[in-house]
């Protein structure tokens, strides 16, 4: 037991060290976890014997439940609203087109059997949310035209469709699928997944709002149970549990529920650990000595997928929406393959005897995708002029802001103010507030109780922020190019009932608004609307 725990701790520390190293090298961190697994595996340096595909499938499938749930929970629907339709089409029709093109390529060019060809196409047809999220956020890739939201919504929601296609072609490969059975499978996967997801989401929102928990953290435990039941109920009836789980996650993430930030922090760490576990487990499960045997067909499929199948699918879907060509190029390149594809390949390996080693072919394709495509996404974004300096990719994620319990308030002492010419010790400051800095004629002074405040001093106060304020609901309006509010004063803008502009973010600086404050292009209005 002690040896096992020591080994587990070594692996965790190695993963974190690799995460830091890959961040400096500009390589996606998830690739490091796979490589670590390969080093610990049967063909690696540590020679740990592990080839239990059944156990790996169960662990990885369970982990995917929470990854899917959190993918939905973390998606900011307000940010994604403008690109929701093309993103959903990419995650459904795009997956089908990609799988079909790869299947045809494998069958007619590589001379693979029909069912096996489309099994390969199915397992690699979805993009990986963990890889996409990791790169966009770690590199702070603020992309134009809502591209970040489109990629995140697509990658977070396309695994259910790939899973459905994989299930269908497994049945075809087993020779037990009639036309009626396949039609029912598609119906059950889609309809049961959507219906159960919507019903469980509705009940879950009601529970989260109505139940009072006796201790902090119990609401997060309830969410874990919700994610599990969202998968299990439809799956027992042949429905798509991943689709149901994603729907529940996205509905809960979009609703005002208690302690949402606590849940975000918990799932952020929990899902991060699961991602490390999945990639490490898949690495240790692989046999690097087998990769040279599948290198040629796998590389051929990877190149076709990256340069032809994915771009064709993206072009067919985004062109009718008049998306710029450079946006289409970036969306095509950013279609990273990841853990879900390898997990689906394990499912195929357990269900069907195939002529080719689909697991290691998929493994090779994922390594190719994460290493080559993932590493070049930042460069391609710059070369295609897709970086948007006026946006923040973190806003595509619910509760994206880095919270701190300390807030700073700046106050300029005007002439005639009651604090003018008084020592700080003689001034009655608000409760739990501390004067931390005085800016006087450009010079910064660290004050003490005897420091006198003078006319024109800028007094910086530190105060504890309140983590939960009832009735406070913040939203943002971005004043983009040609916006109707540009040049207008706040007092001239129609005021919505029970709402107030409390702050303007202007070029990274905070402006406390007044009625005569004129709005300019690039301003972000922060609005409080009472709930």
User: What's the pLDDT tens digit per position in 19-57?
Assistant: 777 666 666 677 788 888 888 887 877 777 888 889 899
Q: What is the CATH number of the domain that holds 133?
A: 1.20.1530.20
Cα distance between residue 519 and residue 195, in whole Å: 45
Q: What is the DSSP string of 76-93?
A: -HHHHGGGHHHHHHHHHH
Question: Do residues 245 and 350 both lie within one domain?
Answer: yes
Identify the pLDDT of residue 192.
94
Residues 6+ apart with CB under 8 A from 370: 28, 30, 31, 34, 131, 336, 337, 338
> Which tokens go with 281?
């487990």
Average pLDDT over residues 311-332: 95
- What tens digit of pLDDT does each residue of 124-167 get? 999 988 778 777 777 777 788 889 889 988 988 899 999 999 99
Number of compact structural domains in the chain: 3
- What tens digit of pLDDT does each residue of 118-131 get? 999 999 999 988 77
Final residue before a domain boundary, out of 421, 445, 466: 466
Identify the pLDDT of residue 268.
83
Identify the pLDDT of residue 401.
47
Residue 403 or 143, more confident = 143
Cα distance between residue 198 and residue 58, in whole Å: 26
Identify the pLDDT of residue 403.
43
Question: Do residues 58 and 112 both lie within one domain?
Answer: yes
State the virtual CA torsion across 513, 518, 522, 525 in degrees, nearest 10: 30
Question: Do residues 388 and 502 both lie within one domain?
Answer: no
Identify the pLDDT of residue 24.
64
Question: Do residues 462 and 475 both lie within one domain?
Answer: no
Radius of gyration in angstroms for the set of CA atoms belonging to the chain, rounded to a whole number:
27
Cα distance between residue 314 and residue 327, in whole Å: 10
Question: Do residues 426 and 334 both lie within one domain?
Answer: no
Identify the pLDDT of residue 9.
82
- Please state, in angstroms and as integers, the Cα–Cα distance from residue 296 to each residue in 112, 115, 196, 280, 304, following that order: 14, 20, 43, 25, 12
Q: Is the pLDDT of residue 531 over 60?
A: no
Cα distance between residue 142 and residue 149, in whole Å: 10
Question: Do residues 188 and 331 both lie within one domain?
Answer: yes
> Which tokens go with 522?
């690039």
Identify the pLDDT of residue 461.
79
Question: Do residues 387 and 411 both lie within one domain?
Answer: no
Domain that holds residue 531: 471-531
pTM: 0.74
Q: Which of 506, 507, 498 lies closest to 527, judged by CA?
A: 498
Whether residue 165 lies inside any domain: the answer is yes
Identify the pLDDT of residue 473.
59
CB atoms inside a 10 Å sphere around CB 394: 17
Average pLDDT over residues 422-428: 83
What percent of the chain stands above pLDDT 90? Answer: 36
Whether residue 399 lies inside any domain: the answer is no
Question: Do residues 228 and 303 both lie within one domain?
Answer: yes
Cα distance between residue 122 and residue 366, in whole Å: 14
Question: Do residues 462 and 485 both lie within one domain?
Answer: no
Range of 43-47, 67-71, 429-433, 504-508 with top mean pLDDT: 67-71
Q: What is the mean pLDDT of the chain?
A: 84
> Based on the number of CB atoms within 10 Å of its own CB, is 458 exposed (0-12), middle (13-18) or buried (19 or more)?
middle
Identify the pLDDT of residue 113.
92
């Amino acid at each position: 037991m002690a040896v096992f725990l020591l080994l587990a701790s070594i692996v965790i520390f190695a993963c974190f060290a690799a995460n830091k190293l890959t961040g400096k090298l500009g390589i996606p961190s998830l690739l490091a976890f796979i490589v670590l697994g390969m080093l610990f595996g049967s063909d690696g340096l540590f020679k740990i014997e592990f080839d239990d595909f059944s156990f790996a499938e169960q662990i990885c499938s369970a982990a995917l439940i929470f990854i899917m749930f959190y993918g939905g929970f973390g998606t900011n629907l307000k940010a994604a609203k403008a690109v929701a339709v093309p993103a959903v089409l990419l995650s459904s029709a795009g997956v089908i087109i990609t799988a079909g093109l790869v299947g045809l390529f494998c069958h007619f060019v590589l001379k693979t059997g029909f069912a096996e060809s489309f099994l390969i196409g199915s397992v690699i047809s979805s993009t990986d949310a963990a890889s996409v999220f990791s790169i966009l956020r770690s590199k702070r890739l603020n992309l134009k035209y809502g591209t970040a939201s489109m990629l995140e919504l697509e990658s977070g929601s396309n695994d259910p469709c790939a899973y459905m296609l994989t299930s269908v072609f497994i049945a075809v490969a087993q020779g037990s699928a009639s036309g009626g059975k396949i039609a029912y499978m598609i119906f059950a996967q889609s309809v049961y997944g959507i219906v159960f997801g919507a019903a469980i989401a509705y009940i879950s929102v009601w529970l989260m709002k109505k139940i009072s928990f006796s201790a902090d953290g119990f609401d997060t435990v309830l969410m874990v149970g919700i994610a599990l039941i969202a998968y299990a109920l439809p799956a027992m009836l042949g429905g798509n549990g991943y689709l149901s789980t994603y729907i529940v996650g996205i509905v809960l993430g979009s609703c005002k529920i208690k302690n949402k930030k606590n849940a975000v922090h918990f799932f952020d760490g929990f899902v991060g650990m699961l991602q490390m576990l999945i990639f490490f487990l898949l690495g240790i499960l692989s046999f690097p000595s087998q990769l040279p045997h599948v290198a040629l067909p796998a590389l051929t499929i990877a190149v076709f997928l990256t340069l032809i199948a994915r771009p064709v699918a993206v072009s067919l879907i985004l062109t009718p929406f008049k998306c710029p060509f450079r946006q289409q190029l970036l969306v095509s390149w950013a279609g990273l393959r990841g853990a879900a594809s390898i997990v689906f390949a394990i499912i195929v390996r357990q269900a069907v005897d195939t002529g080719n080693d689909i697991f290691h072919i998929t493994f090779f394709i994922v390594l190719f995708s994460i290493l080559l495509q993932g590493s070049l996404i930042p460069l391609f974004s710059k070369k295609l002029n897709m970086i948007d300096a006026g946006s923040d990719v973190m806003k595509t994620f619910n509760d994206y802001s880095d919270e701190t319990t300390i807030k700073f308030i700046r106050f300029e002492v005007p002439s005639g103010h009651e604090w003018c010419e008084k020592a700080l010790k003689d001034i009655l400051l608000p409760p739990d507030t501390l004067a931390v800095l005085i800016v006087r004629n450009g010079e910064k002074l660290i004050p003490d109780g005897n420091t006198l405040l003078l006319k024109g001093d800028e007094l910086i106060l530190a105060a504890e922020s309140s983590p939960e304020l009832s009735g406070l609901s913040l939203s943002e309006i971005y004043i983009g190019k040609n916006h109707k509010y540009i040049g207008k004063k706040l007092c001239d803008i129609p005021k919505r009932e029970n709402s107030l502009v409390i702050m303007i973010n202007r070029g990274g600086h905070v402006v406390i608004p007044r009625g005569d404050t004129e709005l300019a292009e690039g301003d972000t209005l922060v609005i409080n609307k009472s709930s």
